[in-house]
Structure 1
Amino acid sequence: MNRPSHRRDFLRTASAATLSALLANRPEPVLGQEELDTARRAATADAVIVLWMGGGMAHAETFDPKRHTPFRPGMKAAEVESTFPSVPTVVDGLSFSAGLERIGRVMDRGTLIRTHTAADLGAILHSRHQFHWHTGYEPPVSVAAPHLGAWIAYALGPRNPAVPAYIDIGQRYEGNGEAEELKAFQTGGVLGAEFGPFRVPDPADAVSVVRPPAGMTPSRFRARRAAYEALLAASPIGTFGSDYQKESMLRSLENADRLLNSEAAGAFDLATEPEASSKEYNTGRFGLGCLLARRLVEAGARYVEVTTEYIPFLNWDTHDNGHTRAADMKRQIDAPVARLVLDLEERGLLDRTLVVLASEFSRSVLVEGKADRRVPNQVEQPDELQELAHFGHHRHFTGAGSVLLFGGGVRRGHVHGETSDEKPYTSITPPVTVTDLHATIYHLLGISPRFGIITEERPFYVTRDGLGRPVADLIA
């Protein structure tokens, strides 16, 4: 028997054995075939588009407006409620915040959840709540928790073998202070690399991700693939991982090759979209991402996520200039979201495509007029507001939040839940948690909330501990 000759060899061998055990065998489903078949037969959706309002979208400034308090120099901070007037929607009795009129006109096709609450994670930090919302598990987790899109890809497989089942649009990593945290929840996790996201950082240049660079000859392309496979072989998974994990990495390459050589790659080329149909989407990166998502679902994508992009202190991360930046964000999302819903409907896809608009948490006004200095990066707000930059909703808030659902078997023209009219506008009817929201999404797709795998010799489920329950009031 060969034994390590000294301590360093022993540690290397022990580390390899540990990692190999963690990445051990192909994950197998927990449920029996009969229960899987029963869930599939109940499915009302085949695809999902998640529209991610990264950074914390304030509910009282968007889909749950309160009393309008316009800005005036010298006003008391305690006076601030909603900084926009409310406007009626197509649904009787339902109003949205000004700037969301277009979405309001399609709410007869969907449901508004007003009591979506985020978990108590100890610290209300973006990375923790983004991870929780996308995986269904509260960090830290001993298992490499798969993303919602990865679970869906694993459970249902591709709708079109040439199109990646899980596609992520709009999130760049370069220059982002939380890049590693963002990558942590954009992964196939324990399911393997083949179920991770196909990333499209810039939808305006989406065609570049399915087309070799200029001057790239076929032979040079093959050489690069061979070099990449050599790098994979030398990586920790290539060296210490299980056969399944290694094969999954190679299958992800094969899937990419299949896409590059298919007609479906044309769906990524927004230049082929007629100007008449693309005009309303052209409000920026997010709007073009919505157009790309529609084209990809048409081509057979299973799960597509489009983000307004999380960058600290920009976009929906309204620690300062809350009113001004919320107005700009509404300009970016209003027309594209409404057009996406109408386009899917006109193409006969809305009934079987679930569209979800959500954020990691909401925001509240600074009730006491000043920031809590124990909270990192919190902007101080004076008792009297002299500058428009101090006007708006700034502080992270988990007691309520808005989620929109369209198509895919949800109720139409429906409002679920109620929040208080007094600060801090918290949920006053039973909340919809991340766990039960995910259970509802899975149920509509025909995936049992108790679906899972055996990993590290124990079950791991699509909803936390398999305890998610679909919210019946949301389902048509």
Structure 2
Amino acid sequence: MNRRHEQIDIGQGPRRWTRRDFVRWASASAAATLTLGEPHAWAAPRTQNEADVTERDSPAAKADCCILLWMAGGMAAPDTFDPKRYAPFRVGLPASEILSTFPAIDTVLPGVQISQGLENIAGILDRGTLIRSHVLPDLGNILHSRHQYHWHTGYVPPQTVAAPHMGAWMARLLGPRDDAVPPFIVIGQRLEGIGEKEELKAFHTAGFLGGEYGPFIIPYPEQGAEAVRPPQGMTPSRFESRYQFYRRLAEADPRYVRAGDFHRESILRAMDNAYRLLASPKREAFDISLEPKAVYDEYNTGRFGLGCLLARRLAEAGARFIEVTTEYVPFEGWDTHENGHTRYTKMKELIDRPVARLIRDLEERGLLDRTLVVLASEFSRDMLVEGVPGSNAKDQSRAPADVMGEMIHYGLHRHFTGASSVLMFGGGIARGQVFGESAPERPCMAVKDPIGVTDLHATIYTAMGISPTTAMEVEQRPFYVTQDGKGKPEMRLFA
């Protein structure tokens, strides 16, 4: 059943995602690696067993697919999954009295509370683990794009080589689950027409791994089906002829020829992958209009909600790594430097129902045990403390720090790295567990079982059957999936 649905968007209106965009992804994303510097001593073999990959003590995979639900912009833990003392708004309210701007609500786990507005997620916490002690690095200037790069790649920019996104590592080391479905897909993030687009592009890449392992980006989930269909009325023979002609053009393009065998072959394989999808019935997985109306409507809280629906369909179809983002646009979404309480009311409406439905759907289909779902953000927020005590970080708040004069002052504004919240479901993760703890009073830093990005990544890779010490040789030196190969999986997070 095909229908037209209302498009809910922030910022610029949606740009139609066309077949030409899809083909451009297949070739141009590969060509983009040419600007990153060629890996001098690397030959691009296709499997993790070949000589350039070093992996010791590879763990048994607990999951085949990973879904990252990315709360872009800095989701404040005290107003979401780690509620503190609540102070309702009033004119003249001292900022020092505010820890949470929403009251806490009970969850399905006895004695465990989260923030009002997340009632649906409260009902599925028994399916996974809530981490309340995720510690982010304090880098002096706490910048969204810098911290997002670090979280997605495991490395702090700048690097002398382009660090691959976590999804690219999985695509490279584990390969596709289905030959027709892109192994690495990002849903909901625009890379054009928004602020900090170049910074976002820096980690939406396969880096030195080659463009064939880069992300297939779908900015608008409701337009995904259009990107993976041959033109209406085009015969199979004409479609095949177009593909062969375009491939010959790419083989002869002097830019690719100069790039050397590795880059040229990577580009051609990326094109082959794109053609294989367009010619496959698996492309229907991208068409969320095929869902029953009641299911579609439950997910449809906006682009993020529909992205969760698309992610479920793609996980069923055979994608390896899928990221669904609330989208990072400066001063929008979770990036609340003012009017935080009002904005959080809307953001919770955006995520609460679809996240809960995604977990339930995966469970009902028998997929949750082999699908690792992670909900995370680049850092948390606080009304008073920037960074952590003793930090040299500059104050990013645009709201007054003394008393509340009007509603736009009420919320969690400053960037805080001392403790953040993460949800994990499936993939061997323990059910019904709360891991770690942050202080009940300001500064609300992690006081029990802190876990940083490197060890959290090690845990995710371990669940997917990848050793945190896995390395590839780039420019005659090893480059690891976790920073310097030092990531240690937190085994207490597993059942």
TM-score normalised by the chain length of structure 2: 0.86
**Cα deviation, residue 447, structure 1:** 0.7
Q: Secondary structure at the match of 1:74?
A: coil
Partner of 2:447: 428
Matched letter for residue 413 of structure 1 = G
Instruction: Decide whether the 8 Å contact of 1:23 with 1:241 is kept in 2.
Output: no
Give the drift of 1:263.
1.0
What code does the residue aligned with 1:164 have? P
Q: What is the aligned counterpart of 1:147 among 158, 165, 185?
A: 165
Structure 1 residue 421: Cα displacement: 1.0
What CA distance in whole angstroms lies between the structure 1 residues aligned with 2:234 and 2:101?
53
Name segments (4+ residues, structure 1) moved above 6 Å.
30-35, 215-218
Question: Following the alignment from structure 2 to structure 1, what is the Cα–Cα distance between the partners of residues 357 and 487?
Answer: 32
Find 1:245's aligned residue among 263, 278, 288: 263
1:133 aligns with 2:118: no
Aligned CA distance change for structure 1 residues 278 and 143 (closer, same or farther; 3 Å) = same
State the Cα distance separating 1:226 from its structure 2 match. Answer: 4.3
Matching residue within 201, 205, 209 for 1:191? 209
Deviations 1:210-235 (A, max 9, x none): 12456777758955884587468657
- Of residues 240-249 and 107-116 in structure 1, the stretch that sits farther from structure 2 once superposed is 240-249
Say if 2:197 is the partner of 1:174. no
Aligned equivalent of 1:70? 88
2:450 counterpart of 1:417: no
C-alpha spacing 1:23/1:305, structure 2 compared with 1 (3 Å): farther
Could you say which residue in structure 1 is the equivalent of 2:338? 320
Q: Is 1:452 matched with 2:478?
A: no
Q: Mark the CA change 1:192 to 1:379 in structure 2 (over 3 Å): closer, same or farther.
A: same
For the aligned residues, what is the CA RMSD? Answer: 2.7
Shift of the alpha carbon at 1:168? 0.5
Residue number in structure 2 paired with 1:348? 366
Alignment of 1:247-396 (within 5 A): 247-366=265-384, 375=394, 378-381=397-400, 383-396=402-415
| Inter-CA distance 253–108: structure 2 relative to 1 (3 Å threshold) | same
Larger Rg: 1
User: 1:288 and 1:19, CA in 2 relative to 1: closer, same or farther beyond 3 A?
Assistant: closer
Q: Distance in 2 between matches of 1:214 and 1:172?
A: 26
Moved more, 173-182 or 326-335: 173-182
Please report how far the alpha carbon of residue 99 of structure 1 lies from its aligned counterpart in structure 2 after TM superposition: 0.5
- Note closer, same or farther for the CA distance 1:346–1:19 as it changes in structure 2 (3 Å cut): closer
Matched, 1:463 2:482: yes
Determine helix, strand or coil for the equivalent of 1:403: strand
Residues of 1 paired with 2:141 and 2:83: CA distance?
26
Q: Provide the secondary structure at the position in 1 that maps to 2:134.
A: coil
Q: Deviations over 1:380-432 (max 9, x none)?
A: 31522121101000011111100000011000000111100111211112311
TM-score (norm 1): 0.89
Pair 317,214 (structure 1): closer, same or farther in 2 beyond 3 Å: farther
- Letter of the 1:248 counterpart: S
Amino acid at match of 1:156: L
Cα distance, 1:23–1:233 mapped onto 2, change above 3 Å: farther
SS at match of 2:284: helix
Q: Deviations over 1:297-327 (max 9, x none)?
A: 0001111000000000000001111111111
Structure 2 residue 222 is the aligned partner of structure 1 residue 208? no
Matches within 5 A, 1:214-233: 219=238, 223=242, 226=245, 230=249
Structure 1 residue 173: deviation in Å?
A: 2.0
Report the alpha carbon displacement of residue 280 of structure 1 after superposing the two structures with TM.
1.4
Once residues 139 and 234 of structure 2 are traced to their aligned partners in structure 1, the CA distance between those partners, rounded to angstroms, is: 48
The answer to whether the Cα contact below 8 Å between 1:169 and 1:306 also exists between their aligned partners in 2 is: yes
Q: Identity over the aligned pairs, expressed in percent?
A: 56
The one-letter amino acid paired with 2:432 is G
CA displacement 1:88-136 (0-9 Å, x = unmatched): 1001111000001110110100001101111132320011100000001
Contact map agreement 2:133 2:451 (CA 8 A) in 1? yes
CA contact (8 A) 2:375 2:422 kept: yes
The letter for the 2-side match of 1:148 is M
Query: What secondary structure does 2:381 align onto?
Result: strand
- CA pair 317-204 structure 1, distance change in 2 beyond 3 A: same
Superposed displacement of residue 148, structure 1: 0.3
What do the CA deviations read for 1:134-191 (whole angstroms, capped 9, x no partner)? 0011111112111100101111111111111111100012321111111111111111
Q: Check conservation: 2:55, 2:469, Cα contact below 8 A.
A: no
Distance in 1 of aligned mates of 2:281 and 2:93: 59
Q: Deviations over 1:45-77 (max 9, x none)?
A: 111000000000000000000011100112112
